[in-house]
Amino acid sequence: LHYPLRRQRQMCIRDRFGTMHGGCLATIVDTCSSFLTLLHSSGVAGEPWTMMGVTQALIVQYLKPTRVGKWIEVETTMRSISKTLCLLHVNIYELDGRDGQRTAHTVTGSHNKMDIRPKL
């Protein structure tokens, strides 16, 4: 997933550095990894992962500032999935606008999700 961070001032910390807010980056980690659970869902109500589950743990490590005005690449990987637990991993890279090459690894995150279907 490539996403342009141009003109996204609402995602900036209110300082002169022009970096993306950490809470916004955590939301990207949460949202992009959650969509992978839908690939393992039948789409039938009551079946595993139909509702994408709920977050059990979300760990986000900020390696470098993610600058507004740059493109980012979000790489999501599913490490493991069962009927009730899913382990996901996310990396966010800053890209060079000219050739799309990765210039910086800015965020890494782990996301553990639980399927709450049996409890509903």
pTM given for the model: 0.83
E strand segments, 1-120 = 2-4, 54-62, 71-81, 85-95, 102-114
Whether residue 83 is predicted with pLDDT greater than 80 in this model: the reply is yes
Query: At a CB cut-off of 8 Å and minimum separation 6, what does 29 contact?
Result: 58, 60, 90, 92, 107, 109, 111
Please write the tens of the pLDDT for every residue from 6-43. 545 555 554 567 888 888 899 999 999 999 998 888 88
